[in-house]
Amino acid sequence: MSISALFTIAVVLLMLIALMLELIEADVIVFGALAVLFISGIITPKEALAGFSNQGMLTVAILFIVAYAAQSAGFMQFFADRVMGNGKGGEARSLLRMMIPVASLSAFLNNTPIVAMFTPYLRDWSQRNGFAPSKFLIPLSYATIFGGVFTLIGTSTNLVVSGLYSQKYGGHLGMFELGLVGIPCGIAGMLYLYFAGRHLLPDNRVEGVSADEGREYLLEVEIADAASLIGKTVEAAGLRNLEQLYMVEIVRNNKRIAPVKPQEYLQTGDRLIFTGKVEGVAQLQKIGGLRPVHGHNLHQELLQNGEARLVEVVVSPSCPMLGKTIKEGNFRARYDAAVLAVHRHGERLRGKLGELVLRPGDTLLLLTGDDFIKRWNFSREFYLVSKISNLPRVNRKKSIITFCALVAMVALSAAGLMDILEAAVLATLVLLFTRCITTVEARRSIELNVLIVIASSFGISKALEKTGAAAWLADQIIGSVEQWGAVGVLAAICLITTILTEVITNNAAAAVIFPIAMASAHQLQVDPKPFVIAIAISASASFATPIGYQTNMMVYGPGGYRAKDFLKVGVPLNIIYMVVSILVIPLFWKF
């Protein structure tokens, strides 16, 4: 193996480790790996930049706009209200009733807004009908993953794989081609959840605690000037035996007082650190003389105007606040909302709220005004997961135009009259010229971090192929499973892709495995198409970890889950997906 191949493998391994450890944002890591390969001369400027003009990447960018228009049009809310019914059929039937339409919707729309919309709805519905929300939220995320491989546009990974295939061989995947294996995998997955998987999900009512009540938040407040609490002891101020809240420490003149004694006297400017449940946080807001450390002016203004409302949001991987503390990111000025508390995946948070560095998946409890939801409901920066009332009135005309544009886009592509990029551009033009979406909203809808990962992955894939690293890795795979022939290599590709996609981004996993799979097909002298399909299916099968796919992360906090819950339910589902894929793929795509 050449020095350039060894160097490329070393860069890719370091990239994978950094992605697994989440050292910094994924787009920075992947772009950094591309930059190293470019600067070292492994790939040329043209090869490094090829991904930024690839049809698959550009299609993903345009589809972000179409998906945003569909999300804001209102027909998805209309759809959600008619899905679940009254729950009289029981938990299992209600689960199936949710998964089938959600998977169908996910085949044509971005998974993220579907989960963002259904999460608060399902939490409210399940509690109203006597079910545990934790029995429905992981299946909600999984259902969108199922639907993502029903069509070419179901998820960005499909378009990435199609783009790589087009770049290498000049062909492309058809609109419904992946559905030949994706639909059987989805059906098998739903049957598994219906009969067995749901029993492996936690029931947070076992101890009389709902998912909402089971989540612990970290809260930081300060004592306002001239407050009636000044000079009182903690016990006399009524802060000792609060329901569902516990005072962890007092910060006074940058010194920490912990543990806090009942006889401790309160002083002006004291910062009080609490941990507890969301209901306790709401209760604390009613105590006079306390105000949130971040955004206390807003807090006072909203309370005086009677416009204050509590809203829960989950921090997305696209949020510009990632890697910053609430204070550094100037959250109050950016969003016109005050952070009251933070919850992180069942982890007991300690220290000052303002010193917490935000991560993807953190759940924030915000104090906002009435217009907050109108401005940030469809934001890519975080997802609203509290029950939203008084939604803006849906514009029926815009909903119809958006729906027709989406259907026409799919029909034109499926009929072969246009390729998917052309159809998506046409749909976007219709949406812009009919004012179903504004230019500002279109710009805001594009997730640049995702596009950078995709575009950079193409260059990294090219480096693996060009240096011979992919061929060497293919030799190792073929050597270990040669007794089982092409089917054995197909199984190995499925397994490796599935493992990778659980710990790094699915798009990066597809791009890394693609050249290795193509080199394997070349050495076996078989058609590469079965391996292309296997990569697309396996790269989307992110079931076993909350970090594997962003919709898993979105339901992580709201469902009150632990990482082990995803492992218990997801690993058998990964195995089912692999078995079905290995059995079905050779039936439609011959080696």
Q: For residue 78, is pLDDT > 70?
A: no
- Number of other CB atoms surrounding residue 262 within 10 Å: 12
Tokens of 386: 């509290």
d(CA 165, CA 510): 11
- Rounded-to-5 percentages of helix, strand, coil across the chain: 60, 10, 30
pLDDT per residue over 57-77, tens digit each?
A: 899 899 888 888 887 776 666
pLDDT of the residue at 207: 40
Residues with Cβ < 8 Å from 378, sequence gap 6 or more? 68, 71, 72, 113, 441
111-137 per-position pLDDT tens digit: 877 887 788 778 778 877 888 888 999
**345 and 563 Cβ atoms separated by less than 8 Å:** yes
Give long-range contacts, CB 8 A cutoff, 24+ apart: 28-34.
Answer: 30/452, 30/453, 30/456, 30/457, 30/460, 30/505, 30/508, 31/452, 31/453, 31/456, 33/456, 33/460, 34/456, 34/459, 34/460
Share of residues in the chain with pLDDT > 90 (%): 34
Q: Average pLDDT, stretch 198-208?
A: 71
Instruction: Specify the pairing of strand 245-252 against strand 255-257.
Output: antiparallel
Q: For residue 150, give the 3-state DSSP assignment.
A: coil
Which 8-state DSSP code applies to residue 233? B
pLDDT at 72: 74
Q: Facing residues of 273 across strands?
A: 220, 249
Q: Which of 102, 112, 110 is nearest to 153 (CA)?
A: 110
Q: Which residue is listed with tokens 């793929």?
A: 585
Contact predicate 41/463, CB 8 Å: no
* pLDDT at res. 27: 87
What's the CA angle centered on 365, arms 360 and 367, to 5 degrees?
130
Question: How many of the other CB atoms lie within 10 Å of CB of 381?
Answer: 17
Per residue in 214-253, pLDDT tens? Answer: 466 777 788 877 667 888 888 888 787 777 677 878 888 8
Task: Dig out the tokens for 38 from the structure.
Answer: 């470019």
Q: What is the DSSP track for 356-421?
A: PBP-TT-EEEEEE-TTHHHHHTT-SSEEE-SPP-SPPPP-HHHHHHHHHHHHHHHHHHHTTSS-HH
**Dist. CA 170–CA 152, nearest whole Å:** 17
Helix (H) or strand (E) holding 245: strand 245-252
The residue with greater pLDDT, 507 or 190, is 190
Q: Is pLDDT at 489 greater than 90 in this prediction?
A: yes
> Can you read off the two tokens belonging to residue 112?
């993220």
Residue-wise pLDDT tens digits, 241-292: 777 677 878 888 878 887 788 888 888 888 888 877 666 666 676 677 777 7
499-508 residue pLDDT tens: 989 888 888 8
Rounded-to-integer distance, Cα 346 and Cα 348, Å: 6
Lowest-pLDDT range of 23-27, 42-46, 247-251, 337-341 = 337-341
Model confidence at 571: pLDDT above 90: yes
Amino acid in the structure at residue 403: F
470 contacts 528 by C-beta, under 8 angstroms:
no
pLDDT band for position 389 (cuts 50, 70, 90):
very low
Bond into 133 cis (ω within 30): no
Mean pLDDT to the nearest integer, 449-471: 90
What mean pLDDT do residues 570-589 have? 95
Residue 71: φ, ψ to 5°: -65, -45
Distance, in Å, from the CA atom of 262 to the CA atom of 237, rounded to the nearest integer, reads: 10
